[in-house]
Structure 1
Amino acid sequence: MNRHDLIFDITYSHYLEKMYGTITGRIDRGITLIIIVVGFSVFFPLFSKAWFAGLIGILSVAQIVYQFARQSGISEDLARKYLSLLTDADQLTDADLHLRFKTLQDSDSNVWGVLKDPAYKRACRSMGATDATEPLTFRQKAFAFMAGEFTN
């Protein structure tokens, strides 16, 4: 693997972790907002309180099981570490750069596959590389948008 390919892989990993951290953080904050709003709505006698309790229960369990806030924190920390590695890349030898990249990869998040192509396209754009991949599907564009990326 030559140095340019290694820099591209680091850039790709940075954007992938950044997008995953953003989307999981937004999901966590969205669930929290819904729980708060639904929690306050029990004071209004419009609907059965059992529906509200059930919705709050389901969303609370989802937050505990999937731990979106924790995943967001881990991914955002990894994205910062990849960015730091990119910043230091000019001062490192190829061997040191490769070693530090491999060390970071050992702690990578289990990122959703729907974010991989948008992150690849973002890395291509940021490095001025030609992107010969297929256009993003509507689903990929939607998830990329929710992850803070405005990819075509």
Structure 2
Amino acid sequence: MDRDDILDRILYGYFLEQLFSVATGRLDKLLSVVSIILGSSVIGGFIPEISGVFIVVIATVQTIYGFGQKSGNAMRKSAEYLQLFDDAEKYSDSELKIQLKTLEKTDDHIWSSLKDIAILKTQIKIGVSIEQQEKLPTKSKLMRFLCG
């Protein structure tokens, strides 16, 4: 693996973590807003039993999956990738590869639907021509729109 490949992997890791941070952060905020709206409907007397069940389900999902925490962790991790990319000139090729592998060892499991988007963002950043760039399927285009 040459230096350009290592730098490409660092950028890919940065974009992947950044996308995951945005996606999980937005999902956490959406669930919180829906929970608040449902809570208001309980107070207002609009089918409180059903609203209460949905509030419990949303709270359970937020607790089990921890989208807010995952978002924060991914944001921190993306900053580490960006820092490594910015400091790349300080390292030899072998040192940079070791730093990348060390960083990758602590990566969390990220949704596979974000991987194609991260590849495309990396290709755009490194200047791959439009004809050679990754073509996103419809599902990935929707995820790209939702992740900003």
Asked whether the two chains share a fold, i.e. TM above 0.5, the reply is yes
Distance 1:134 1:89 in 2: 26
Unaligned runs of 5+ in 2: none
Q: Counterpart in 1 of 2:2?
A: 2
Farther-moved stretch of structure 1 (123-132 vs 112-121): 123-132
Tell me how far 1:133 sits from its aligned partner: 5.4
Which residue identity is paired with 2:72?
Answer: G
Distance 1:134 1:74 in 2: 27
Q: Which structure is higher in helix share?
A: 2
How is 1:1-150 mapped onto 2 (pairs within 5 angstroms)?
Answer: 1-45=1-45, 47-130=46-129, 132=132, 134-148=134-148
Which residue identity is paired with 1:36?
Answer: I
Distance 1:67 1:28 in 2: 8
Which residue identity is paired with 1:28?
Answer: D
Aligned residues: 147
**Percentage of pairs with the same residue:** 30
Unaligned runs of 5+ in 1: none
Contact 1:31 1:59 in 2 (8 A): yes
Question: In angstroms, what is the RMSD of aligned CA positions?
Answer: 1.2
Distance 1:130 1:4 in 2: 16
